[in-house]
A and B are shown apart, each in its own frame.
Chain A
Amino acid sequence: MNSLYLAWQYIRFNKFKTIILVASITLIAVLPLSLEILLAESERQLLNRAESTPLLIGAKGSALDLAMNSLYFDDEVPELLTMAAADRVYDTDLALPIPLYARFQTRGHPIVGTTFDYFDFRKLKIAKGQPLTMLGDCVLGAKVAAELELGPGDSLVSSPENLFDLAGVYPLKMKVVGVLTPNHSADDLAVFVDIKTAWIIQGLGHGHQDVTRTRDSSVILKRSEGNVAANAKLFHYTEITDENLDGFHFHGDTSIYPVSAVIAVPYDDKSGTLLRGRYLEGDESQLIILPAEVIDGLLQNIFRIRNVLDAVIALVGLATLLAIVLVFTLSLRLRQREIQTIFKLGCRKATISRMMMAEIVLILMFCAVLSSAALGVIDSNAEELVRRLFIG
């Protein structure tokens, strides 16, 4: 106990030196371990999500972009395809098509346009409020609701895609009608809308005052039989309400409207195999992927990088340890006088060694406590960190 007491007094007196030492040791311990935690978590998240998604259909291009956008709502939007792609799957009678349009954002969170089937497929339940019922409604992922402190009855405005596009589409004020239960996946961080609402956000569907009934002649450019042309003064709705719902409409055939991907849920294994076969033609403009295969390939690359990273960390760790040994050695040299005094007083060699060891033990204990705390924080936030650092 006396050794520990003296060691503690020494450490207290040399606070600055101790803090630097503890910080370096902690850092070198926490760095590889936290990386290990985050990589394991990212592997878990990536694989879980990928393995639970049987097939993904997208426009020909990057399979990785398609998988990352469709599974984790990554910012990188893949080549778009049309709603006809979903109809095509439906017509095969081999799988259930679930269209996804994950292109827009609101307050830093992805807006995912989809259909009711998506909620059933991902087993997403409403924790508060109700499911989507009309255009302009949105349902929040659990973490979005918590982070933005929003719930049913509140509203959210979509973010413009390009701030400098002055002639662009007005942001849409969406009504929050429900909040989902957490499912510890990218769904928790997304805002879900009906796919038609996503098209309205893009400006493909819109609502404005009825030009056939307006009495304001300054709005009308040209009126002819069966056709009225209005100028830019025409008031466009930026929010869908019960009153103006009828004013919203889509021009043209919605089958040519864009989607970013179609999740295909085969009715059985054989159907899945047959469906994949349909997309293997050479002139096929669409791509069908097994998300698990794509993500597995990504993970292999991550692990290769991790090996390099591990080696770098090991080298840095070794260098730090050597520096720490040097610090201890120099410290011992600087403390020769003190050691001489203790020796002259009659202290045994073993006691002197025990005192030095007590200092090292105390320092290592501080490092262990700090490292544990840091790793605890990282571990408890790993899910969020992985999504923000690696996936999101």
Chain B
Amino acid sequence: MISIQNLQFHYPNSEFRLTVPEFAVSPGEKIAVVGPSGSGKTTLLNLLAGILTPKQGKVRVGEVAVSDLGDAGRRDFRISNIGFVFQDFELLDYLSILDNILHPYRITGALKLTGEVRQRAVHLAEQMGIAGHLKKPPGELSQGEKQRAAICRALLPNPSLILADEATGNLDPTNKNRILDLLFESVAEHDATLVAVTHDHELLPRFDRVVDFRKFQQGAGSKELGAKSPLPPTPDSQHPTPASP
């Protein structure tokens, strides 16, 4: 599903460097990416989504070489194939929760907003426990509820790849597991692939694989931990991280 080869990326005027010699994710796989802040986890997600383009190397998602697409091509690919749950939800204040969930359908011609889509949005919101808030603006919702709305927005177009950046970061333990269940269900239902950045080590055993991002930064290639593998060492201070962008 995902393959990265010889990827190199850096932000202009920054010391930060991201080098990924090789990285692959199989279709339907659910992987967690862990690592200290500023190690480039979000950058990796942005590269996978085509929000950023590598300076060198190739990023492929399915059959598409995302890194070779032009700006418009990457945007079209992203909106049609990738569901992105952002770290800070990024819901629009002036839209109701329902409109936020339906937002991807309103900003592209690639997705058609039909009655069936609306029904699915309501159904998703019910599953996430926010059906009672659909007409409210995000400002009236708690952090956890906003997060769930953001997840609904990402899941609605049935993407083949779901990128979640701290998707459960703002949730209480009960809701964390519930949301993760929903993410996993959605992944299974649509035969999608999930790449989730998380700091929550309690959740790691639920993923198929955990990728310790610090290992990328040490230039030793990817050390990919097997499913249900022992947790990677967590104290960030043990491994100096590159300067954040």
Residues of A within 8 A of B (CB): 2, 5-6, 9-10, 12-14, 337-338, 340-349, 351-352, 355
Q: Taking A2-B107, A5-B106, A13-B137 as contacts, is the C-beta distance between A347 and B90 under 8 angstroms?
A: no
Question: B117 CB to closest chain A CB, in angstroms?
Answer: 13
Between A and B, 7 residue pairs with Cβ closer than 8 Å are: A6-B95, A13-B93, A13-B137, A341-B86, A344-B78, A349-B72, A351-B108
Contact A10 B78, beta carbon cutoff 8 Å = no
Question: A1 CB to closest chain B CB, in angstroms?
Answer: 9
Contact A348 B108, beta carbon cutoff 8 Å = yes
Q: Taking A5-B106, A341-B86, A341-B92 as contacts, is the C-beta distance between A348 and B78 under 8 angstroms?
A: no
B108 / chain A contacts, CB cutoff of 8 Å: 346-348, 351
Q: Give the number of residues in B that approach A within 8 Å (Cβ atoms).
A: 27
Q: Taking A338-B92, A348-B72, A348-B76 as contacts, is the C-beta distance between A9 and B107 under 8 angstroms?
A: no
Question: A280 CB to closest chain B CB, in angstroms?
Answer: 76
Contact of A347 among B75, B86, B137 (CB under 8 A): B75
Q: Taking A9-B94, A10-B94, A12-B94 as contacts, is the C-beta distance between A344 and B107 under 8 angstroms?
A: no
User: A303 CA to B108 CA in the complex, in Å?
Assistant: 54
Question: A336 CB to closest chain B CB, in angstroms?
Answer: 12
Contact B90 A344, beta carbon cutoff 8 Å = yes
Contact A14 B94, beta carbon cutoff 8 Å = yes
**Minimum-distance CB pairs A-B, first 7:** A346-B79, A13-B94, A346-B78, A347-B107, A2-B106, A341-B90, A346-B75
Question: Chain A interface secondary structure, helix, strand, loop or mixed?
Answer: helix
Question: A172 CB to closest chain B CB, in angstroms?
Answer: 67
A352 / chain B contacts, CB cutoff of 8 Å: 107
Residues of B within 8 A of A (CB): 49, 51, 71-72, 75-80, 82, 84, 86, 90, 92-95, 99, 103-108, 113, 137
User: A355 CA to B108 CA in the complex, in Å?
Assistant: 11
> Given A6-B106, A12-B94, A351-B107, 16 other A-B contacts at CB below 8 A?
A2-B107, A9-B99, A13-B94, A13-B137, A342-B107, A344-B78, A344-B90, A345-B78, A345-B103, A345-B104, A346-B82, A346-B107, A346-B108, A347-B108, A348-B76, A352-B107
Contact B95 A9, beta carbon cutoff 8 Å = yes
B137 / chain A contacts, CB cutoff of 8 Å: 13
Question: A24 CB to closest chain B CB, in angstroms?
Answer: 21
Give A340's nearest chain B residue, CB to CB. B90
User: A341 CA to B51 CA in the complex, in Å?
Assistant: 11
Give B96's nearest chain A residue, CB to CB. A9
User: A2 CA to B117 CA in the complex, in Å?
Assistant: 15
Give A12's nearest chain B residue, CB to CB. B94
A13 / chain B contacts, CB cutoff of 8 Å: 93-94, 137
User: A269 CA to B99 CA in the complex, in Å?
Assistant: 79
Give B111's nearest chain A residue, CB to CB. A346
A12 / chain B contacts, CB cutoff of 8 Å: 94
Q: Taking A9-B99, A351-B107 as contacts, is the C-beta distance between A345 and B84 under 8 angstroms?
A: yes
Give B75's nearest chain A residue, CB to CB. A346
Give B72's nearest chain A residue, CB to CB. A348
User: A345 CA to B86 CA in the complex, in Å?
Assistant: 10
Contact B71 A349, beta carbon cutoff 8 Å = yes
B106 / chain A contacts, CB cutoff of 8 Å: 2, 5-6
User: A352 CA to B79 CA in the complex, in Å?
Assistant: 14
- B71, B82, B94 interface centre (most CB from chain A within 10 Å): B94
Give A1's nearest chain B residue, CB to CB. B106
Give B77's nearest chain A residue, CB to CB. A346
Question: B126 CB to closest chain A CB, in angstroms?
Answer: 23
Contact A346 B90, beta carbon cutoff 8 Å = no
